[in-house]
Copies of this chain bind each other. A is one copy, B any other.
Amino acid sequence: MTMLAHADPHGDSRRPEEPRFERKLRDEMERRWPAGADELSALGRYALLPPGKLLRPLLTLACAEAVGGAPDDVVPAALALEYLHVATLVHDDIIDADDVRRSRPALHVAHGVPDAIVTGDHLIFAAFAAIGECRPAGVTAEAGTAAVMALATAGSDLCRGQVLEARLVGDPAAGVEAYLTVATLKTGALFRAACRIGALLGGADAEQAERLGEYGELLGIAFQIRDDVLACTLGPEATGKPSTSDLANGRPTLPVLLAYEAGDRATRRRLAAALARRSAGPGELAEFRAMLVATGGLDLARARATGYGEQALARLSTLEASASRDLLASAATWAAGVGQ
């Protein structure tokens, strides 16, 4: 197994990759979502392919292998995680009126809101069909049921996070705790499911599956913070969406919340005004970012990502040494070391 360190669209060169896993996932996605199928499948294909970083399904395969399972046997379950992730992106882009996704028109822009709603639903159903069909030999029926339940729980957590997040819009005083709750529900939950499902279907005992689930949740929170930090420091060519997306949506990201906590009254007023404006020119964006640097909000957010990444790493201590364990460890280190 090779652990390549490719150029990363997020701007660092340490993104955990596993070409063997990625090839498996891409090939299977192409096979299951061929060009020229019926219209609904074509819409699904537009949303899924070419794929993004495939981080969640990679985690599923790595966790399965790390506990002694055969990655080939859990590929459908790994795809289920990607389907569910992409379904939420499709629906979130409608909700947030985000027009660009993975440097292309979002599905609701390319095909209209009705088809985008239905495609998101279809991807959710496809996720449960994929996880339902995934019954590796030697894995108990209880583990299979637990995998279905883990996916369903993660899905409802995502919805809960989406509703909570909407309530924080425009409020730079929402507080770090509220942010972390949203990050746990919106990002942590699916990472948790990705790892827990991989472990369960890889044959892990309940305790190991729980520990890898915790790893996933902590990694997911670190990853979300990392994403928020990078959205403040990188351009659209790196993130695949406009630099002003979070600002235009009035999302109080962790750097903003920490900047608000640390800032003086004038800074707080300016942060609130920036979030309330719901649009930003290049000058305003630069001023906004400068505030996040000057208050230390950006560095404090980086430190939080590091903390969560380190906690995630600690959850791997009981795994035997293996290439997949190394992959999981490198994911934690990568998320922890944002922009450093």
Contacts and interface: CB of A to CB of B under 8 A. Distances in A.
A248 to B, nearest CB: 15
11 contacts: A87-B121, A91-B121, A95-B118, A118-B162, A120-B121, A122-B160, A125-B153, A126-B156, A132-B145, A135-B145, A141-B141
A87 B159 CA distance: 13
A125 B135 CA distance: 20
A334 interface: no
Nearest to A145: B132
Contacts of A113: 94-95
Contacts of A163: 39-40, 43, 115, 118
Interface residues of A, number: 45
Contacts of A87: 121
Contacts of A129: 149, 152-153, 156
B152 A125 contact: yes
Contacts of A126: 152, 156
A91 B91 CA distance: 11
A218 to B, nearest CB: 23
B149 A132 contact: yes
- Most chain-B CB neighbours within 10 Å: which of A94, A113, A122, A125? A125
Contacts of A160: 38, 40, 122
B159 A125 contact: yes
A166 B39 CA distance: 12
Given A128-B148, A132-B152, 12 more contacts: A43-B163, A88-B121, A95-B114, A114-B166, A117-B117, A118-B163, A121-B121, A121-B158, A122-B159, A128-B155, A129-B153, A148-B148
Interface of A: 38-40, 43, 87-88, 91, 94-95, 113-115, 117-122, 124-126, 128-129, 132-133, 135, 141-142, 144-145, 148-149, 151-153, 155-156, 158-160, 162-164, 166-167
B133 A149 contact: yes
A120 B40 CA distance: 19
A234 to B, nearest CB: 27
A129 B135 CA distance: 18
Contacts of A141: 141-142, 144-145
Nearest to A134: B145
Contacts of A133: 149
